[in-house]
Amino acid sequence: MSAGLNMDYTAFIPEFMLVGLAALVVALDLFVPQFRKSWLPYVAASGLLVTAGVSCAWIDKQVDFARLVTVDDFTTYFRVFFMAIAAVVCLASGRLVEERLRHPGEYYALIIISTVGAIGMAAARELMTAYLSLELLSFSLYILVSFQKYEGRSNEAGIKYLLLGAFSSAWFLYGLSLLYGVAGSTYYDDIARALSEDTSAYDFALLMGLVLIVTGLGFKVAAVPFHMWTPDAYEGAPVAVTAYLSTTSKAAGFALLLRLFSSALDVVHDDWSWMIAGMAAATMLLGNLVALQQHNIKRLMAYSSIGQVGYMLMGIAGLSHDTASAIVLHLTGYMVTNLVVFVVIIAWYNMTGREEIADFRGMRERAPLLAAALAAALFSLAGLPLFAGFVTKFILFQAATEEGYFWLAGIGVVTSVISLYYYLQIMREAFVSAPEEGAEPLRVPYLMQGLTVALMLGVFYIGLYPQQLFEAIDEATRVLFV
């Protein structure tokens, strides 16, 4: 049965390590009562980082496992990337979990497990694997979103996210089934081979399948009009989870999109590029326009993330090696920046328990470091120079232009100006408005300070000297287009 299949399980060492780590965390939480709960985040984070280090062993290798997954530079890149994000989120959520949530062990375990799912999405070269990894990620997120279980908003967010998620994955599956029907296989390369023949006989089925797949993935990455869960889930979820939602789940979605559309569906590029293009336009506009109206910081970040998704979809629409690497570059820069913002939000929330934009007033006076980091990060999100946002966005748009999507680039630039407006509104609260009376300076934990500074360095690194990173990404995405 398994003749000629490489079943070399060593390729999964990092994933196994992660599962082990998850188990360890839970176990520590359960069976070692005298173990200081507050150490869990450090355990999880260090474990993740170690694993990330281990997975670097696969750089420039190309291991295929039963044609289901391959561990190549693309996978490796995202492995490291996801683990890093997870580590940051674990560290950032330490105090929050202690003070506001129960079951810390499961919390970290879920984050770690979901990372496995995310990696699977990036690595899969077969529909089932891709789908199941996606579900693994989603399930963990469903739980995490409703983790604040005595909090009505958390439940609401959970139920909405879960039901819509199930709904959308039904669509996705239906699309997969049609694709399977027309291609007769679930392997990306078979699909590509099948579709490269004359498809006129079953064009409609194929198109329907593509539409549904785009729908499903559009839901995952929160593209208009499949975005509607995003603001609610972001607002309802515990803020650390929001950070995780806005980073890993999106990034994983894009990893899957890139892998699937490049190695399986590239041959029918014209059949789906316009859908993505349309979605991109709608997403950029709606995300940034509605963000103008928000007053809750989490909700605002939700909409801003929707806008960012639009930019990256622009690249997917004109998918090519250049755009792919541009997307990943932007993705990276965006994720790092986003984490800065969320670390600041988390820290502020921990100290003040507030999450309205208006509650940021006087941050300059009360927590200068956070304020500075926030300002820099928001500038970066708005795409202003010295920070990551400018160069990554510029390269992304230029790449899209090179692929003939000048108009999308146009919309992108316009909307990023709109976004600047609401980012400046936040800065205004933080820097211009005076703190309310009797608000004395806050002592930001060293952990948070350290995180902020480290991430800021990342932002500046990408913004000021992206050469190596960009080369690495270029390498990583090359394997998609062989």
150 binds other proteins (CB under 8 A): yes
Query: Does 286 help bind other proteins (rule: CB under 8 A)?
Result: yes
Can you read off the two tokens belonging to residue 304?
């801003």
Q: Is 136 in the site for other proteins (CB under 8 A)?
A: yes
Q: Which of 156, 192, 351, 453 binds other proteins (CB under 8 A)?
A: 156
Angle of the 73-100 helix axis to the 446-464 helix axis, nearest 10 = 150
Residue number, 53 or 147, with CB nearest to other proteins? 147
Whether residue 238 has a cis bond before it, omega within 30° of 0: no
φ, ψ of residue 147 in degrees (nearest 5): -70, -30
78: Cα separation from own chain's centroid = 11
Applying CB under 8 A, which of residues 13, 43, 192, 207 lies at the interface with other proteins? 207
Per-residue b or e along 330-366, where b marks 16 or more CB atoms closer than 10 Å to that residue's CB: bbbbbbbbbbbbbbbbbbbbbbeeebebebbbbbbbb
- Closer residue to other proteins, CB minimum distance, 385 or 450: 385
**346 to 375, contacts with other proteins by CB under 8 A?**
364, 368, 372, 375
C-alpha distances in Å from residue 239, one per residue of 51, 243, 346, 368, 442:
26, 6, 6, 21, 19
Binding residues for other proteins restricted to 383-402, rule: CB under 8 A: 384-386, 390-391, 394-395, 397-399, 401-402
SS3 285: helix
Give the pair of three-digit tokens for residue 140: 């963990």
Among 170, 358, 439, 457, binds other proteins (CB under 8 A): 170
Stretch that binds other proteins, among 84-92, 148-156, 253-261, 447-455 (CB under 8 A): 148-156
Pairwise CA distance, residues 249 & 235, whole Å: 16
135 binds other proteins (CB under 8 A): yes
Rounded CA gap, 169 and 259, in Å?
A: 18
Residues 84-113 that bind other proteins (CB under 8 A): 102-103, 106, 109-110, 113
Min CB(56)–other proteins separation in Å: 21
Examine residue 188 and tell whether it contacts other proteins (CB under 8 A). Answer: no
As a three-state string, the secondary structure of 296-358 is EHHHHHHHHHHHHHHHHHHHHHCCCHHHHHHHHHHHHHHHHHHHHHHHHHHHHHHHHCCCEHH
In the window 17-56, what residues touch other proteins (CB under 8 A)?
Answer: 19
CB of 453 to other proteins, least distance (A): 11
- Smallest gap from Cβ 60 to other proteins, in A, equals 17
Contact flag: residue 193 with other proteins (CB under 8 A)? no
Residue 441 beta carbon to other proteins: minimum distance, rounded to whole angstroms? 10
Residue 241 makes CB contacts below 8 A (sequence gap 6+) with 93, 141, 144, 145, 147
Q: Does 322 bind other proteins (CB under 8 A)?
A: yes
Instruction: Tell me the site size for other proteins, rule CB under 8 A.
Output: 137
The token pair that represents 21 in the structure block: 């780590």
Which member of 55, 75, 93, 325 binds other proteins (CB under 8 A)? 325
Name the one residue in this structure whose structure tokens are 């996210």. 161
Map the footprint of other proteins across residues 291-310, applying CB under 8 A.
Answer: 291-294
- Residue 252 as a binder of other proteins (CB under 8 A): the answer is no
C-beta closer to other proteins: residue 53 or 379: 379
Enumerate residues 6+ apart whose C-beta is below 8 A from 262: 319, 324, 480, 481
Among 202, 445, 449, 453, contact with other proteins (rule: CB under 8 A):
202
Does position 418 interact with other proteins (CB under 8 A)? The reply is yes
By CB under 8 A, name the one of 17, 316, 335, 427 that touches other proteins: 427
Comparison of 48 and 275: residue with beta carbon closer to other proteins: 275
CB nearer to other proteins: pick between 53 and 125? 125
Contact 383, 255 (CB under 8 A): no
Among 115, 186, 242, 262, binds other proteins (CB under 8 A): 186
C-alpha distances (whole Å) from 222 to each of 97, 168, 183, 234 are 26, 11, 28, 11
Q: Is 231 among the residues that bind other proteins (CB under 8 A)?
A: yes
Least separation in angstroms between residue 337's CB and other proteins is: 15
CB of 181 to other proteins, least distance (A): 4
Q: Which range, of 39-47, 134-142, 257-265, 340-348, touches other proteins by CB under 8 A?
A: 134-142
The first and second tokens of residue 286, run together, are 């709606």
